[in-house]
Amino acid sequence: MSRRCSRPRAGCLAALLVICISAAPQRCSAASAAEAGAAGAGVVGEPNPSSAVDQPAGGPLMERKTRVASRVVSLVPALTETVRALGAGDRLVGVSDYDDSPSQTPSLPRVGTFLAPVVERVLALQPDAVLTSPTPANENAVRAIERAGVRVVVIRNEGSLAALRRAIARVAELLARRREGQRLLGAIDAQIERARGLAKRRLQSAGKDEDGTDRRPRVAVVVGREPLVLAGPGSYLGELVDICGGRNIAAAGGGRWPHVGLEAMLASQPEVIVDLSMGSERLGSRERLRSYWGRFPSMPAVAHHRLYVGAADLFQRPGPRIGEAALALVAMIYPPVQS
């Protein structure tokens, strides 16, 4: 027996109404964008612009798409770094709450995070491009920003090195700094190759057997501790481990950021642990991490003090400093011999 049979007519009417509304084609957002899009350069400053900014006449959609971004809001710190590394840092008008690198201009307005952007503040800055990563968590916000006529550039950075290179290229194209982009990529590649070479040399000097015994140190890159998440082979960190001559203990399971049981990690006996789980530096965090891992002296990494904490910023932002990260990692896996 139908549960709503007591109000058949009203229920059917409501259902009909619902279907009509859902099926109606959505208003073209380009039209609304043309009539209300943000204009060009204005005064960068507080999110309550007092200067009157003209409404543009609005051009065809094609022209808008290829327009060079001149007022950029970046919701992802890695992308912020990329913009700066491409020499376009002056075009930034807003950054995410996680952008806390002290050396860079701290006075840029914060607009939330890529998981939860504060759309009002984003729009108040009147950007012409918003850089973000794809995540279901911010889809509603992204759509709202697009409905308001602001271009949102979703840079897919699933986590592999190739994706990272593509992201840098995409940002460079957006900013019309292709040349700088090529240069940056070249520099990164050079650093990675140098790291690779260093690793190879140090492994050879350690004496690798001819029959192919794998003498590479077993490495664990910890991204999260509770639950325990490691960098898998599909992630850029996993690739770096490989490039830097380490053996990723999470390689067997595959994937990018696998959840690994603590027992499995203990059983795999990592010789090097890089713990990035604390995020940015906080007072006492290093000590807490060390005491946490100190409970498991059965792991060679703990017994021989090959536990590296901190430097999370460098490793956790898949951006222009990835080459630096590679060099840092190779120093962790193969510490330079003090002679």
Partner 1 sequence: MTGAGPTTTVLPAVQAWSGARLTARSMRNGLLATAVLASAVVVLALLFGGVSLSPSRIVSGIGPDRLIFLHVRLPRVLLAAWVGAALAVAGAGLQPMLRNPLASPDIIGVSGGAALAAVVSLALLPVGFFGEMFVPLIAFAGAVASSVIVYRLSLVRGRAEPYTQILVGVIFNTVAASLILVVNAMVDLLRSQSIVFWLMGGIELHSYRVLVLVAVLIVAGTLVLIRESPSLNLLALGDEGAEQLGVDIAASRRRVFAASSLLVGAAVSLTGVITFVGLIVPHVLRRILGSDSRLLVPASFFGGAAFLVLCDLVARVAVAPSELPVGAITALTGGPFFVYLLRRRVRPMNESEQ
Contact residues: partner 1, CB under 8 A = 3-4, 6-7, 10-11, 14, 17-18, 21-22, 24, 26, 36, 38, 47-49, 52-53, 55, 97, 109-112, 115-116, 118-121, 123-126, 134-137, 139-141, 143-145, 147-149, 154, 223-224, 227, 229, 255-259
Which one, of 61, 66, 62, 85, lies nearest residue 74 by Cα?
Answer: 85
Question: For partner 1, which is the closer residue by CB, 122 or 309?
Answer: 122
Question: For partner 1, which is the closer residue by CB, 77 or 217?
Answer: 77
Q: Hunting for tokens 């910023």 — which residue is that?
A: 313
Pairing of β 229-230 and β 218-224 = antiparallel
Question: For partner 1, which is the closer residue by CB, 1 or 283?
Answer: 1
Question: For partner 1, which is the closer residue by CB, 259 or 304?
Answer: 259
Question: For partner 1, which is the closer residue by CB, 5 or 337?
Answer: 5
CA-to-CA distance for 74 and 92, rounded, in angstroms?
7
Min separation Cβ 171 and partner 1, Å? 19
The sign of the CA dihedral 144, 146, 151, 154 is positive
Chain-centroid distance of CA 138 in Å reads 14
Q: Which two tokens stand for residue 12?
A: 């059917």
CA distances from 221 to 202, 303, 325 (A): 20, 17, 13
Min separation Cβ 289 and partner 1, Å? 19
Min separation Cβ 323 and partner 1, Å? 24
Which one, of 204, 168, 194, lies nearest residue 329 by Cα?
Answer: 194
Min separation Cβ 100 and partner 1, Å? 14
Question: For partner 1, which is the closer residue by CB, 170 or 202?
Answer: 170
Question: For partner 1, which is the closer residue by CB, 94 or 246?
Answer: 94
What strand order describes the sheet that includes 152-154?
92-94, 72-74, 129-132, 152-154
Min separation Cβ 199 and partner 1, Å? 27
3-state helix/strand/coil string of 83-125: HHHCCCHHHEEEECCCCCCCCCCCCCCECECCCCECHHHHHHC
Q: Which two tokens stand for residue 173?
A: 């194209």
Min separation Cβ 61 and partner 1, Å? 18
Min separation Cβ 249 and partner 1, Å? 17
The sign of the CA dihedral 208, 209, 211, 213 is negative
